[in-house]
Amino acid sequence: MQPLERLVNLVALLLEARMPLTFDQIREKLGEAYEHGDVNSAKRMFERDKDILRDIGVPIEVVATDVWEAEQGYSIAKDRYYLPEVRFTPEEISALFVAARSGGDTSAEDAVRKLLSGAEGGILSSLAGEGIAEIVGARDPRLPSLGEAVAGLRRIRFSYRTAKGETSERVVDAYGLAVRGGHWYLVGLDRDRGEVRSFRLSRVSSDIEDQGEGSEPPPGFRAADSLQSGPWGPGEPRTTALVAFAPDVAWLATKGVAGAETIRVRDDGWTETRVPWLPGESLAGWVLSFGPDAEVIDPPELRDEVIARLEATLAAR
């Protein structure tokens, strides 16, 4: 057995042992490691290995194995061997994240990804189940300044373009950052509207201006919990679509869809329902999942999207 393998096996054995092991027990369990015919020679080899491990920081202890202290055993003090759990305060997590995102150094990003893989708190505490690899890789030039705003509980001002293309100035107390569908969102208290809102970073159309000290988030706040998501895709819907469902699926179609509202049941038994909608392809795919049992009535652009996808599917056959 090679010396390195012998040392590794010895450490593993002592870490797994519930009680201190005598040299004879160690020799028996490790087999060929100390199988020298001469017991004294085998013991000297063991003592050399023990000294080497101690020199590199492995805390091997010698303890008595009986009340008369007639025989000695060996063990590793686990509380001294294992490193303590890595813990960060929310402020430290936020600082690490902002530093890694600001420097453009991929090695720094890799290091932060490993450090924060199990961390809780700070601006990364509620990322809606997204993987850290995806989060670190999702680049946005506004992240550093927004990360600093969240970490410092600052009030910020920026121009924001809605899904309808309307642009307005927003003043927000920055509470947290969250990721949905590969997109970053700022979550905070919209001062003009008096409620917590989410803002997709790709729709922020200006620099982030610091407006001073902001407010504290509500107790138990998690950014991900404030980020709406549904058949319309990730983000906050700003309008609605009117969809009709066949009698067989109407009772189930919108179950669990926040904001869905039944408008009427037609004479043919179909139910017209108003569903939150964020322009994009997600709601079209959801409607198509019901096959012939769902029909878009309004708006025309959503209806056209559904028809176009159906035609593309038929053409591909």
The CATH number, out of the four listed (3.40.50.720, 2.60.120.10, 1.10.357.10, 2.30.30.520), of the domain defined by the range 90-227 = 2.30.30.520
Instruction: Give the domain 234-315 fold.
Output: Alpha-Beta Plaits (3.30.70)
pLDDT at 174: 93
What pLDDT, in 10s, does the model give residues 166-224?
789 999 999 988 776 567 888 899 999 888 888 888 889 899 999 999 999 988 887 77
Compute CA distances 151 → 58, 84, 98, 143, whole Å. Answer: 39, 26, 9, 12
Domain ranges of the chain: 3-81, 90-227, 234-315
Dist CA 28 CA 139 (whole Å):
57
- As a whole number, the mean pLDDT across the chain is 78
Q: Is the peptide bond before 218 cis (omega within 30 degrees of 0)?
A: no
What pLDDT, in 10s, does the model give residues 255-307?
767 678 899 999 999 999 998 876 655 678 788 888 899 999 999 988 988 88
* 225 vs 289, more confident: 289
The structure's pTM equals: 0.43
pLDDT at 267: 94
Q: How far apart are the first and last CA of the chain?
A: 64
Q: What is the CATH number of domain 3-81?
A: 1.10.10.10
Please report, rounded to a whole number, the percentage of residues in the chain having pLDDT higher than 70: 72
Dist CA 9 CA 6 (whole Å):
5
* 279 vs 40, more confident: 40
- Annotate 151-170 with b (16+ C-beta within 10 A) or e (fewer): beebbbebebeebeeeeeeb
pLDDT tier at 91 (50, 70, 90 boundaries)? low
